[in-house]
Structure 1
């Protein structure tokens, strides 16, 4: 497997977040965010570790300790079903090397460690072929398509991929 480490998000990761804000990475998320929104997102990622509301990580490799992307998970209530939602981004220059797959496997293991009874969901846009393929390869089950508002004011169809919680004693 690809040599990837997940490092908890830190104050020094603002530049990584800025690099992740590239148009080619944000095309399925409504386009690049303003500096103010990036600063708010960075603060939210840091606060998530402080208050336990989310866990964001920098995806790092020995060759790129500054990070090649980000991945994380946070609780989500989907009509009474409590899940962890997972999201990720790997910078274009580092795509196709297995970094996202390795990072997703690690974040799934961490989410199961945090709450083994919770399923994990991902909501890539219907036309985001690489993220949909990643979900499929990681064992997520396609449950359907829903319209999601992200960013605010933009409604687009997204696939609903769910990785069921492991059976008790198998996590």
Structure 2
């Protein structure tokens, strides 16, 4: 899907966060959270760019409708500082390529920034849709792993990774594969 724009998270986006806090949307993330926890999450999204440790975005369609969120933030994974990403797309817009387009946009934003080399995503093993997004967005599976989310709750996830120092698959020409271009 084309026509996806990432807009830095703003004060008015709390409404979108409330819309995403449903049993359906939060099924793989420990379920809906209390309003106070949602307010804290919203504040952390607003503060993230000022910390220099990432950015959260509202995902808009070209017509201006806010349909979800995506972000990237620094995290430690197996002794290394890496980028982590995650996304949410409202139910009425799922299955249309919105999450894949948003994930690809984050990859493109992080390429060449001089930050950590790798971007990871950790969807729950049973979350077929998010695992498919990783595959479609050019992430490489690193296998299953144990993860803690929400804090204190262990979940089984897939570790997906993109090497930000390598060109995206759609940027590689036939010549780079050793075949002549026509």
* Structure 1 residue 62: Cα displacement: 2.8
Structure 1 residue matching 2:71: 3-state secondary structure: strand
Residues matched between the structures, number? 169
Structure 1, 71-80 or 110-119: larger mean CA deviation = 110-119
Q: What CA distance in whole angstroms lies between the structure 2 residues aligned with 1:43 and 1:117?
A: 25
* Structure 1 residue 117: Cα displacement: 5.2
| 1:107 equivalenced with 2:106 (yes/no) | yes
Residue equivalent to 2:79: 80
- Unpaired runs of 5+ residues, structure 2, are 173-182
* Structure 1 residue 50: Cα displacement: 1.9
TM-score (norm 1): 0.92
Residue equivalent to 1:35: 35
TM-score (norm 2): 0.86
Structure 2 residue matching 1:27: 3-state secondary structure: coil
* Structure 1 residue 144: Cα displacement: 1.6
- Unpaired runs of 5+ residues, structure 1, are none
Divergent runs of 4+, >4 A = none
Q: In the TM superposition, what whole-angstrom CA distance separates every residue of 1:10-51 from its partner, at most 9, and x where no partner exists? A: 011000111111111100000011101100000000000222
CA-atom RMSD in angstroms: 1.8
Structure 1, 112-121 or 83-92: larger mean CA deviation = 112-121
* Structure 1 residue 97: Cα displacement: 1.3
Residue equivalent to 1:3: 3
Q: Max radius of gyration: which structure?
A: 2
Residue equivalent to 2:22: 22
